[in-house]
Chains A and B, each alone.
Chain A
Amino acid sequence: MYNSRKIIIGLVIFVLVAAFPFFINVGKTAQPLQLSLNTPTINQLEKKECIESADYMRANHMRMLNEWRDQVVREGNTVYTSSSGQKYEMSLENNCFQCHSNKSNFCDSCHTYSQVDPYCWDCHNGTKGAGLKQ
């Protein structure tokens, strides 16, 4: 190979960049995401289920909340009938946070893990124990 020094340096940089995630994670164990459901309200529940299936909620809670927001604020609709027929108030404070009162161990841990930073918290301050986001 000609100009091998330069080409090899370039290729090494390429490999380092292209396989960077592998290098940085080498030897580390991927920690599965742990979400805490250990709150007083949840502990008291007979059937530990959210308003929709957990899989659905994990993937779609933000879309649902977005829809709720328009329904509540703009339409004045406040009651959500879930797919199981159960009725819930469409409210973070008066519904979601009642069970998920552990913002930092539930909401935040997943948000941090997947690096999403929703602006909901700017107003909806979470639970009593969670403290305020400045």
Chain B
Amino acid sequence: MAELKVGDRILLLDEDGFLDNAADWDEEVAHVLATTEEVELTQEHWDIINYLREYYAEFGVAPMVRKMLKDTGKKQSEIYTLFPSGPGKGACKIAGLPKPTGCV
């Protein structure tokens, strides 16, 4: 299993680089995760990340992409500009959310 070195912490990642344990997340982790995605975090990124964190805290899953766009007022293309791997594999990963599964 892959590992992520954040400061002196060693965090476990899954095969796709998602945090194995969502509770490990903090802002410092986000920065390190962002480097694996080759993203420099700006305020715009943080808006999305914070939105995802809040949503996840309340609902236990990532939001539907459509809902995320509506709630953040961003277009899909803008999300892709911010997170080249897309809302799921990019934004959710940096925000420390787990991968979505099932028939989706």
Query: Do A and B share a direct contact in the complex (Cβ within 8 angstroms)?
Result: no
Q: Which B residues form the contact surface with A (CB < 8 A)?
A: none
